[in-house]
Structure 1
Amino acid sequence: MHPTVPRAAARIAAAFALACCTLSSHAADKYPSKPIKMIVPHSPGSTADMVARTVAEGLGNRMGQPVYVENNAGAAGIPGTRQLTTAAPDGYTIAIVSSNHATNPGLYKHLPYDSIKDITPISIIGTSPMVMVVSGDSSYKTAQDLVAAAKAKPGGISFGSSGKGTILHLAAEMFLDKTGVKMLHVPYRGVNTMMTDLMGGQIQMAFLGIPSALPQIKAGKLVALGITTTHRAESLPNVPTLAEAGVKDYNYEAWVALIGPAGLPPAVTERLQGEVGKVLATPSAREVFSAQGFVPVGSTPAVASQAIKSEISKSLVLIKRASISAE
């Protein structure tokens, strides 16, 4: 082969690559040129939905194109996430996912997508601690009181959750794992009935989102024994973290993240992440997040990717240890 042929081929390949990069950069400069759809795999009025609508409104204002929310709820968020993963990776279909994105791989053997490979993480939007609570007239005044009673009577104390494999269930399973105690799990189909039974003494303990629990805590109908994160909650400053309460290495939190389909161009990913960070810094967004018990984050795509992988791994371990399967 003539020695100039490889060199000529190399020049052609380099020119082609440069042209592609120029076109990609040009497309990114024009992004967005039409409305953006934000899929929310949760029902209207849910915490994730309210967070999504706040972010969508802020993004639309900043990017000069409407960002409209499309709810695709049900089946643990699987249909909505599937809709996202099958969309074109052009930045015009994005989604807000929450903690069940990390729990589903352990609960369902045949998901119609890969929870890591089929998405492009853009940003962790926010995180939220949960709180371990007992009824207002409970004899358990601290987390250690509950642990001591559970050790004295294995399986004799019950805890409730909003359903098998939900984050409220897994928060309790982590508590059992860290303390080495056994309790009876009583799954419900929602939070309200569970709280009624907890306050009525039918079950003895539960983990709840702070917005759900706070009114009953203030009314004295529930008592908070511990916060699930490594930092105390602003709305419950006098309640210790579970780690402070003697549950070593306990740390579990709810979260919401912005994602796109796999293959989302880096320039588009970075543009969305940058604008989201600016939206989350506004007083109006912080007010909405605070009311929902969320702390705004606005992470980089790399941090979001690592966080989602870590949460999936953590959930897989908890689900396997507790032998949990989807209903």
Structure 2
Amino acid sequence: MKTIFKSALLGVAMSLAVGTACAQAYPNKPVKLIVPFAPGGFTDVVARILGQKLSVAMGQQFIVENKAGAGSTIGTDFVAKAAPDGYTLVMISTTHVISPWIYKTMSYDPIKSFAVVSKLVDSPYVLLVNPKVPANNVKELVALAKSAPETIHYASSGNGSSQHLMGGLFVSMTGAPLKHVPYRGSGGAATDLVAGVVETSFAGVPNALSQVPQGRLKAFAVTTAKRIPQLPDVPTMQEAGVPGYEASVWLALLAPAGTPKEIVNKLNSEIAKLMATPDAKKALYDAGVEPTPSTPEAMSDYMVKEMERWGKVVKEIGIKVE
């Protein structure tokens, strides 16, 4: 028995030693940071900020790679099936916990297939409208849409995306018959919105900041309960006449399930440190997001709650993949 006990202790000690050595050596080669959305969108902007900061902090390149499609499930599936060694990560958004309610079948479990590294940021979306639309606020837009059903469209980054759901929630709560137009990424949606191909979109703050000050788009409302400092003159949706409307989008970093805890904790620690620096805070502020790093455990719990919350919203408003 003593021999067995000593062997067991030796095994535990060796595992701890290997894990510690692995974490100390990590990363010793470039890390892929998968963005499951097209370039130029909200998630992509934050990923490139984080990738650059982590590259400097950890001494290896964190290379952003876009794998868009199917409401972010293509790129996310790629990471779910990757080796759990910390060298393939994915930056997810709220869409990650919406997809299971939108798609009939999924090749991975949004919770069990991943090891959570950290929550990253929170941000509202902004209801953006092309200047050619003869409306100057939310109430006028709703009235216009009701007067000419399905002539006003709202663009999103794809079926099942956060943009899709926020638009669907708006339609449900106002009765405005806006017609959904899914794109293969928020970049294409933004381009057509500015060109007037589509009339409206619920877009990330970076898109608003790049178009609204120049007059290329009008900002009617932000989706959160409070106004944001980047657009102080833009009312909240509730202020604009939609009582009870409140929603935001968050981003988080995940690794494949089974990634060593030591590596997860090392990444988590580095992210917390770099997001507290003035330089990172300014870059994220300029991108229209608020840093909200967390422990892996706290974000895991939050994802479960968010999945339940958005599942109820999907059922209530009847959103389905078109």
Q: Give TM class, smaller chain.
A: 0.7 to 0.9
Alignment correspondent of 1:40: 35
Letter in 2 for 1:168: Q
Matched, 1:51 2:41: no
Which residue of 1 is the match for residue 196 of structure 2? 197
Q: Return the offset for 1:153.
A: 6.0
Cα distance in 1 for partners of 2:179, 2:301 equals 31
Supply the distance in 2 between the matched residues of 1:64 and 1:216 (Cα, whole angstroms): 35
* SS of residue matched to 1:106: helix
Q: Aligned partners of 1:248, 1:235: CA distance in 2, in Å?
A: 23
Change (3 A) 1:101 1:285: same
- Note the 1:229-308 alignment, pairs <5 A: 229-308=224-303
Residue 123 (structure 1) aligns with: 118
Pairwise CA distance, 1:41:
2.2
* Count of aligned residue pairs for this structure pair: 316
Q: Say if 1:128 and 1:295, in contact at 8 Å, map to a contact too.
A: yes
* Superposed displacement of residue 35, structure 1: 2.9
Tell me: CA distance 1:196–1:325, structure 2 relative to 1, closer, same or farther (3 Å). same
Three-state SS of the structure 2 residue aligned to 1:175 is helix
Give the match for residue 314 of structure 1.
309
- Alignment equivalent of 1:109, drawn from 104, 111, 116: 104
Q: Secondary structure at the match of 1:165?
A: coil
Check 1:210–1:134 CA distance in 2 against 1; reply closer, same or farther (3 A cut).
same
Deviations 1:104-128 (A, max 9, x none): 2222222211111101111122222
Does the 8 A contact of 1:150 with 1:183 survive in 2? Answer: no
Match of 1:119, as an amino acid? F
Q: Tell me: CA distance 1:206–1:45, structure 2 relative to 1, closer, same or farther (3 Å).
A: closer
- SS of aligned partner of 1:302: helix
Amino acid in structure 2 at the alignment position of 1:210: V
**What is the Cα deviation at residue 221 of structure 1?**
5.5
- 2:175 aligns with one of 175, 181, 193: 181
Instruction: Report the counterpart of residue 221 of structure 2 in structure 1.
Output: 226
Structure 2 CA distance for partners of 1:90 and 1:211, relative to 1, 3 Å: closer
Q: CA 1:186/1:29 → structure 2, altered by over 3 Å: closer, same or farther? A: closer
Residue 218 and residue 151 in structure 1: after superposition, are their counterparts in 2 closer, same or farther (change >3 A)? closer
Give the corresponding residue for 1:68: 63
- Please state how far the C-alpha of 1:46 moved relative to its aligned partner: 4.0
TM-score where L is the length of structure 2: 0.82
The equivalent residue for 1:100 is: 95
Q: Provide the residue aligned with 2:23 in structure 1.
A: 28
Larger radius of gyration: 1
For residues 151 and 47 of structure 1, the distance between their equivalents in structure 2, rounded to whole angstroms, comes to 27
Q: Partners in 2 of 1:128 and 1:80 — Cα distance?
A: 22
Q: Identify which range, 208-217 or 162-171, moves more after superposition.
A: 208-217
Structure 1 residue 55: Cα displacement: 1.5
**How do 1:157-168 and structure 2 match up within 5 A?**
158-162=152-156, 163-168=158-163
SS in 2 for 1:218: coil
Mapping for residues 140-179 of structure 1, pairs under 5 Å: 140-144=135-139, 146=141, 149=143, 155=149, 158-162=152-156, 163-177=158-172, 179=173
CA RMSD after TM alignment: 3.1
Note if contact 1:33-1:65 (Cα within 8 Å) is conserved in structure 2: yes
1:86 Cα offset (Å): 1.4
1:326 and 2:321 matched: yes
Change (3 A) 1:184 1:238: closer
Question: How far apart in 1 are the matches of 2:278 and 2:10?
Answer: 47
Runs of at least 5 residues in structure 1 that lack an aligned partner in the other structure: none
Residues 123 and 258, structure 1, Cα contact 8 Å, conserved in 2: yes
Q: Give the SS at the match of 2:212.
A: helix
Q: Distance in 1 between matches of 2:182 and 2:255?
A: 32
* Conserved 8 A contact 1:123-1:259: yes
TM-score by length of 1: 0.81
Deviation at 1:227, TM superposition (A): 0.9
Distance 2:64 2:70 in 1: 19
**Given that residues 151 and 181 in structure 1 are in contact (C-alpha distance below 8 angstroms), is that contact kept between their aligned partners in structure 2?**
no
Distance 2:31 2:8 in 1: 34
Unaligned runs of 5+ in 2: none
Among candidates 186, 202, 205, match of residue 210 of structure 1: 205
Deviation per CA, 1:152-211: give whole Å up to 9, x if none: 76957744122433322211222234x35252323153322244437xxx75x5422233
Identical counterparts, % of pairs? 34
Q: 1:140 to 1:44 in 2, by over 3 A?
A: closer
* Residues in 1 aligned to 2:69 and 2:133: alpha-carbon distance in whole angstroms: 35
